[in-house]
Amino acid sequence: MQKKPRNPDNFEIELDAQLCFAIYGAAHAFTRTYKPLLEPLGLTYPQYLVMIALWEEDDQPVKAIGDRLGLDSGTLSPLLKRLEQSGLVARKRDRDDERQVRISLTAKGGELRHQATGVAQAIGKAVGCSFDEAVTLRDELIALKQRLIKAGE
């Protein structure tokens, strides 16, 4: 059961009253829930996100993947290198712009999509809410993210 702030006038200094702490804790719980589901696929959660982005649209520039996932090149580059070493993706220079590196799925990476189909269902079951509730929550979190980005500009 969630605690309510003990003193509304003093909520700034109560950890359990912090929205950011609740989101942080939920993010960690998601990662822990994904871990045993992704281990048989040989993927970490960030690698899984890259693979989903490529399953949606193959052969993308590294920058596009980073923008889509909100990852900087310092985080994304080693992740992509590990996926390449696993034989799931291939990195190649763009024919039209040698400065850009494009990432594409290998046959093995494409086949992994079929093995990953049960992951979303397992997460849905773990979340314990209806599809419509999950969509509403996701939409609210996206809207919150956009408001925070706007506030930071």
Taking only the tens place, the pLDDT of each residue in 49-102 is: 999 999 999 999 999 999 999 999 899 999 999 999 999 999 998 788 778 899
Q: Is 82 helix (H, G, I), strand (E, B) or coil?
A: helix
* Structural domain includes residue 6: no
What is the enclosing helix (H) or strand (E) of 101?
Answer: strand 101-105
Domain that residue 21 falls in:
15-152
Q: Is there a domain that residue 2 lies in?
A: no
Provide the number of structural domains found in the chain.
1
Residue for token pair 């712009």? 97
* Residue 11 CB neighbours (<10 A): 13
pTM of the model: 0.85
Cα–Cα distance, 124 to 135 (Å, whole number): 11
Residues 6+ apart with CB under 8 A from 119: 34, 37, 38, 41, 48
Q: Answer yes or no: is 102 within a domain.
A: yes
Q: Is residue 4 part of a domain?
A: no
CATH number at residue 130: 1.10.10.10
